[in-house]
Structures are given as C-alpha cells and as structure tokens.
Chain A
Amino acid sequence: MNEDWMLYEVFIRSRSGLEHKHVGSLHAADARMAIEHARDAYTRRQEGVSIWVVPSSEIVASDPGEADALFEPARDKVYRHPTFYAIPDEVKNI
C-alpha cells in the first residue's frame, strides 16, 4: 500500500429515498479514485444507487474521554423515549 494514499470513509445509499449509510473505509489517491474503489468494493452486489466518499481526516469525532459529559446526562431521562404511548395496531412503520 502506498503511504501517499489517503483513507476515505464510504457512504452508500441503497435505494432512492433512503439516506446514505456508512459502510466502511478504503484507501485512494484522490476523491475520484475513492469513488471508483468504493464502486468496486462496496456495490459489487447491487448494494447501492449512490456513493459518497469523505476523507477520513475531515471527519470530526467526539472525544471518547468526554463520553461521560456528552452521554451520561441522557441516561436518567427515560421519558424522552416515546414508549409510554399506546400505538394503534393500524399504524405501521414506527
């Protein structure tokens, strides 16, 4: 593997109307090559109709060390889950 190649994150939209989902990452020399590699690596079995690639270095990630501060406060707020409502049987897709 050439050290000059950058890491890209790959997002695939499986069908029109659905969102792009992260499927993995790969190496490429530039964005165009990343799209081609993504096509060959991640859409071989007709998994997608659209590809996004993003340089991994451009992704801003949350700091695992701050996990307590970021996520802990939500723990005792179970009322935020809409689980207290009775859902009529006729309602689908919730």
Chain B
Amino acid sequence: MSAPAEAGVAQASTAERVEYLLRLADTSLIAGQRLGELLGHGPALEEDLALGNISLDLIGQARLLLALAGRIEGNGRDEDALAFLRDAPQFRNMSLAEQPNGDFAETIVRQCLLDAWQLETYESLTGSREEALADIAHKAVKECRYHWRFSAGWLVRLGDGTDESHARLAAALGTLWRFTDELLTPDALDARMAVCGIGPAPGLIRERWEMRVSAALAEAKLQKPPHQHYPWHGKRGVHSEHLGHLLTEMQFVPRAYPGATW
C-alpha cells in the first residue's frame, strides 16, 4: 500500500470510515447469502458442501466487518442490527454480489469475478492503516485464495469443457461483465480512503484484477468481453431490483420476531 507519509486514519471522518467498511462487509454478506440459496441445490453433494463453505466464509467476513463498522459508528448498532435492520438503499454492496445465481455457469462467473476482486482487495488491505481492518484482511485473504481457486478451477473446467458448457459460460460472462467496472473504478470515497492509507492505491486493484482474470479467461478459452461503462452504483446504495428480494428472505425472521435467539 503506498500512501503519503502523513496519511492516517485520523484524516478520515467517522462517516467515511463506516461507509467504506460497509462496502466491504455488505459485498461479503450479500454474496454469502446468494451462495446460501444454493444449499441443497448444488450439482453434486461435494459441490454443495464447497459452495456452503464459501458462503460461510463470506458471512464470517461480513460479521467481523459489520461489527467493526458498528463500533466505529458508535451509535450502538451491532452486526445483527446492520445486517438485518437496514433497507436496500442503505446497503453498500457491489452490484455484482446481488446478481441472481442463474445457472451454474452464472454462479461460477459471478463468484470468479468477485473472488478475484476480494482476493486482491484484502491482499492490499493487510497493510491498511485501519488496524482492525488489516487484521480482518489477514484472515479473509486466506479464505479468498481458496474461493478463487475453486471458482477459477470451475471457470477453466467449464470454459474448456464441452460446447454447451463453453457457450453457457460465455453467455454468463456477457451478462455479468458490465458489473465489473464498479469493482475497479475508484469513486470519491475510494480515493479518500487511498489518501488516508485505509484503502488500496487508485488503480492497483484494477491492474492486479485484470492480470488475474485475463489469465484465467485465457486458460478457459473464453474471450474477454469489451469494456462497458459503469452505470451501476450498488456501492453508493443504488441497487438492482434483485437486492430487495434477497433482503426480504434474509431479514424475515429477525424482523418478524425481533430479538429471537436459538
């Protein structure tokens, strides 16, 4: 992480730090919930377990990040309040994370594009000046390495598989590629976090992500889709219709039965 010597967490406002943590936390939470929908529906028992494990890793990351965001915010909201009592416009996840599972090809492509971003992001965040975030990143990066290994393995297997698996993967890539620019193009908050030494240097994630994803696509014999401008703003709270449906399911029990415990 390259930040000016005088950079520091103190330069960032509480609201900015919380907002940035919510982007990371919500992306993990929503992706984890999406994968959780597949429990019992995996193409094989073994894949079912793998997807479930990844889902639990992501929800674990979200818990740590949400708890940290709640502590920094200082308004008494804990991880559960943040996960279950916010409405869609308050969520800050990347739009890619909320896209539906579709067929297995779509699930794999979504995870692959997202895993590569999480892996590079957390790798970089291990040097964050937000110390508690750096600690979480150290844990998350090991999980993300495995997630990438899993999804990239399937990308290659299906892309370089049968005519049908290749066609399905190419179609999924065409559908989901438009959401990648949001991951890679820093906005004002990302730039602020970089200046403060909290987030990755501008451009770093795009460079590493493109190298990683391009290599996997080449091995999978898939064409990289053309660049598409990004009108998606999940990380600023403007979501596709899919998020609302996801939240309805995820939040139903805690909202219908407040304070319920096992």
Binding site for B on A (CB under 8 A): 1-2, 5, 26-29, 32-33, 36-37, 40-41, 44
Contacts and interface: CB of A to CB of B under 8 A. Distances in A.
Nearest to A2: B44
Nearest to B49: A40
A7 to B, nearest CB: 11
B153 A36 contact: yes
A5 B44 contact: yes
Q: Is the contact region of chain B dominated by helix, strand, or loop, or is it mixed?
A: helix
Interface residues of B, number: 12
A28 B46 contact: yes
A37 B47 CA distance: 7
B153 A40 contact: no
B50 A40 contact: yes
Interface in B128-161: 149-150, 153, 157
B46 A26 contact: yes
B46 A40 contact: yes
B34 to A, nearest CB: 18
B50 A27 contact: no
Contact of B153 (A1, A2, A32, A41): A32
B101 interface: no
Interface in B42-61: 43-47, 49-50, 53
16 contacts: A1-B44, A1-B45, A2-B44, A26-B46, A27-B44, A28-B46, A33-B153, A36-B50, A36-B153, A37-B50, A40-B49, A40-B53, A41-B46, A41-B49, A44-B49, A44-B53
Nearest to B51: A40
Contacts of A2: 43-44
A36 B150 CA distance: 8
A33 B44 CA distance: 12
Contacts of A26: 46
B149 A37 contact: no
Contacts of A40: 46, 49-50, 53
